[in-house]
């Protein structure tokens, strides 16, 4: 684990091989897995869980209730929220937000509290995520909508037959209401 001398890290729950860069703050209750990279100018609150092999680019504030699973990429200045009706000095239970394994969230995307971003999905730059994102979905826009499907490497899939999507490498996926699932 490498903690830059200009970082303010209070958590002891940081995995081996993880780096926290300058001007980042990690509160005591935060949990960060192995081999993750927390770039400069980030803030990670107490009730946050970050998995293994996660990249958190610069300028991201991760609030209580956010869970980031393994192998996730968060582009610069991604915005998380955790209160659907914020008022000054009125504290309500936070909404849990989950970014599932392998997802990539584009720079400057804003994520509404309580959203789940599906496995291996990808959001475009500047997307406003107001609904759950299905597994393997490619979403973008304001509000973000499904514009296509991607594989585990982020490569766009093509429709082979109704409900069957195929990668360039020949991997096949079946469409279902929660997104795609590998065949």
With respect to residue 167, please indicate whether it lies within any of the assigned structural domains: no
With respect to residue 118, please indicate whether it lies within any of the assigned structural domains: yes
Taking residue 66's Cβ as centre, other Cβ atoms within 10 Å add up to: 24
pLDDT of amino acid 90: 87
pLDDT under 70: residue ranges of the chain:
none
Q: What percent of the chain has pLDDT over 70?
A: 100
Q: Identify the residue whose tokens are 């979905």.
A: 137
pLDDT of amino acid 101: 98
pLDDT of amino acid 15: 98
With respect to residue 160, please indicate whether it lies within any of the assigned structural domains: no
With respect to residue 179, please indicate whether it lies within any of the assigned structural domains: no
With respect to residue 72, please indicate whether it lies within any of the assigned structural domains: yes
Query: Do 90 and 60 meet the contact criterion of CB atoms below 8 Å apart?
Result: no
Element housing 73 (H / E):
strand 73-74
Q: How far apart are CA 9 and CA 20, in angstroms?
A: 8
Taking residue 1's Cβ as centre, other Cβ atoms within 10 Å add up to: 14
Q: Which tokens belong to 9?
A: 């890290």
Q: Which tokens belong to 25?
A: 């703050």
Q: In what order do the strands lie in the sheet with 164-166?
A: 158-161, 164-166, 172-176, 179-182
- Looking only at the bridges linking them, the beta strands covering 73-74 and 104-105 are parallel
> Structural domain tally of the chain?
1
Containing structural domain, residue 54? 2-150
With respect to residue 155, please indicate whether it lies within any of the assigned structural domains: no
pLDDT of amino acid 93: 87
Q: Kindly report the CATH number assigned to the domain that includes residue 10.
A: 2.160.10.10
With respect to residue 130, please indicate whether it lies within any of the assigned structural domains: yes
């Amino acid at each position: 684990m490498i903690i830059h001398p200009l970082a303010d890290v209070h958590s002891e729950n940081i995995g081996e091989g993880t780096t926290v860069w300058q001007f980042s703050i990690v509160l005591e209750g935060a949990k960060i897995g192995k081999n993750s990279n927390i770039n400069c100018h980030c803030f990670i609150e107490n009730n946050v869980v970050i998995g293994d092999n996660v990249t958190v680019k610069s300028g991201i504030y991760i609030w209580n209730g956010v869970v980031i699973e393994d192998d996730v990429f968060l582009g610069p200045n991604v915005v998380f929220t955790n209160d659907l009706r914020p008022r000054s000095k009125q504290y309500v239970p936070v909404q849990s937000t989950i970014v599932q394994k392998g997802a990539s969230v584009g720079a400057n995307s804003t994520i509404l509290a309580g959203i789940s971003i599906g496995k291996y999905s990808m959001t475009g730059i500047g997307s406003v995520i107001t609904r759950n994102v299905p597994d393997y979905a490619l979403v973008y826009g304001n509000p973000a909508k499904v514009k296509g499907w991607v594989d585990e490497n982020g490569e766009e899939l093509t429709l082979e037959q109704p409900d069957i999507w195929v990668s360039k490498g020949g991997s096949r996926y079946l469409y279902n209401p929660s997104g795609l699932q590998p065949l």
